[in-house]
Amino acid sequence: MTEKELCRTAIDMMDRAYIPYSHFAVGAALECSDGTVFTGCNIENASYSPTICAERVAIFKAISEGRRDFRRLVIAGRGKDYCVPCGVCRQVIREFVADDFEIICLNGAGEAKHFTLHDLLPYSFDSSML
Ligand code: THU
């Protein structure tokens, strides 16, 4: 998939978001090294804390299907700001990828800002510290 197609996939996933509380849709598209793409959307809950972010849905779908070889991740929102991953998601991403992993964040205009995981989570905690 081209970057444009991967972004379109994340944008389309916003339509599947279950967001009766925040009304803030997020879509995600996670690309593996062989080009396989796992998608996600945010899924909220009346009890609030069980809510899961779009990018974690995509990552957990991939992990549960036996995949850990991630190449890049697109996160799409409809706001004016680029939809960057929350702190919890940054730590979950950290578990499976290196510092140079590419994270592409989209705003509601479909504009993209490129980050590495290191940009978003420097001095991160990982298994080497245990
Ligand atoms: N959300 C995501 O899906 N990804 C993020 O990284 C930011 C937050 C969702 C969670 C919740 O359903 C809504 O956006 C508002 O916080």
Q: Give yes or no for residue 103 CB within 6 A of ligand 1.
A: no
Going from the Cα of 124 to the center of ligand 1, the distance in angstroms, rounded, reads 21
Res 2: pLDDT: 98
Ligand 1 geometric centre to CA of 90 (Å): 12
**Could you tell me the two tokens for 99?**
């510092």
Cα 118 to averaged position of ligand 1 atoms, centre (Å): 21
Is ligand 1 within 6 A of the CB of residue 105? no
Report residues of the chain scoring pLDDT below 70: none
pLDDT score of 74: 99
Say what the pLDDT of residue 17 is. 99
Q: In 14-113, where does DSSP find H-type helix?
A: 54-64, 87-94
**Which atom number of ligand 1 is nearest to the Cα of residue 86?**
6
Question: Structure tokens of 21?
Answer: 């509380």
The pLDDT, as a whole number, for residue 61 is 98
From the CB of 37, is ligand 1 less than 6 Å away?
no
- Separation in Å, CA 72 to CA 31, 46, 58, 109: 5, 32, 12, 21
Give this prediction's pTM: 0.98
Number of separate helices (H) and strands (E) present in the chain? 4, 5
Catalytic residues: 55
Structure tokens at 113: 């800002």
DSSP H helical ranges for 1-130: 3-13, 54-64, 87-94, 117-120
**pLDDT tens across 15-33, in order?**
999 999 999 999 999 999 9
Taking phi over 0 as left and psi of -120 to 50 as alpha, with beta for the rest, 18 belongs to beta
